[in-house]
Structure 1
Amino acid sequence: MWAPEEEMVKEWESEQECMKQRLVLQDTEAWQKEPDFRGLERVGGVDLSFIKGDDHNACAQLVILNYPELQVVYDVSEMVFLTSPYVSGFLAFREVPPLLQLLHTLQREQPELMPQVMFVDGNGLFHYREFGLACHLGVLSDLPCVGVAKNLLQVQGVAKNDEHMSQISAMSKAGDTFPLVTDSGKILGQALRSSDRSTKPVYVSVGHRISLDTAVRLTHSCCRYRVPEPTRQADLRSREYLRRYFPSSS
């Protein structure tokens, strides 16, 4: 078990604050302003899957899908060794470096396939210090980025209480949403019923270079099931890679 040093956490906090100054929380691309996202052709998704019982070795996955068809046009799986410990609220320092490396390799080898927007299985602005995994990856890659989490992060007064459950029950169809409002009245994300098949919402927040409304609309348009297809495919393929090459890990 790693014991994170206070010094390292302070350093990470300071780095987060610096990167936060570079955050862009509005639409920056022409396709984002189109009702049907005309001009958007490639959406990316990333994920990490771990070998069972091993906190160090993981499969880093990048997929690129065409849009609006949502067919995989590029995918790469790479085993990575993670040296940074897991510290709650600082997951990005552990997971972003190998994911960023996959993007850099794609940019170098097949720049024509670079995604115009990235989906991350996790939070963006909806985070303890308003700088989650999707913000971190977005700022360092300088790509529009959306965080879509499967579970509610209970932060700044947002809680999985009776009111929250009642709001979920009131969502009757795919596309229904409600805001995630902090104690101070700030909206850090939206709960979205992404599919008629699933009554459980996903939690959408801005990562970088996209507005919340656009992020929610885009997420819904990329969902065949509960989870957006880019991150769903990244998860499926990284798990499949581990099953194939590390059968004892599944």
Structure 2
Amino acid sequence: MRIAHGRVTMMGSESVPVGIDPTKPSISRVYDALLGGKDFYDSDQRVVDHLIETMPQVDVLAKINRAILGRGVRYLAGEAGLKQYLDLGAGLPTMENTHQVAQSFHPDARVVYVDNDPIVLAHGRALLEQDKSTRVVTADLRQPDKVLGHPDVQKLIDFSEPVAVLLVGMLHHLHDDENPEAVVDGYLDAVPPGSHVFITHFLNEGPEAGPVEKSFLEFLGTGRFRTREEILRLFRGLELVEPGLVYLPEWRPDRIVRDKLTLAERLMVGGIARK
């Protein structure tokens, strides 16, 4: 896959695993395309092409979101000392995955990836077949009871010990009537004090967000941009760790952050909070 002249183009032949409809775009595959992956189909490419027409730097936005995943997990594993991770809406495996970062701090760290796209399971199993501390589960994060009750989750995660709940770039794909606040509560009610939640989300702040949100909703069917106040409600009852809810490049950066952020750098915010 390459990005050239503002277009994302799939290279090579397409193979379709059983249970996947390549005519319908997938959040995980669109994200994979934006990150420079290769596991996507024409329907996903069309979505990316439309997004790029609205915002040429949308692939940069995806990479910024991916970068904060690594920084966030380094905090959770290092400073917070967490050894259990529930990565919800994990997407396709790529560079610096959650289990790789967490296990670089704690070789015995346990990670369960959850996604509703069967292609994630197909690729994840192949990648992780030798890693007994990591599992990939096909489930819908909007159903916390089913996710938490899944045999692989029950086998790997000890809910008497702190858990990191990751919802990185996911809750904006839930519509208001799907009640993202209740989804977050469903997971946090199941984990003990000392657990953390890690959320990144599209931000509705300024006129530039409107056309991008419209493009996501029209061509992907999801992508709700919420206000800072709405996103803060997802953390209600929890203690936000420093620096709080901020633009993604400003969350514990590993490089100098420019005073004037680009549009791509201002379209998402993120934070980690402790129960």
TM-score by length of structure 1 reads 0.34
TM-score by length of structure 2 reads 0.32
The higher-RCO structure (CA 8 Å, 6+ apart) is 1
- Which has the larger share of strand? 1
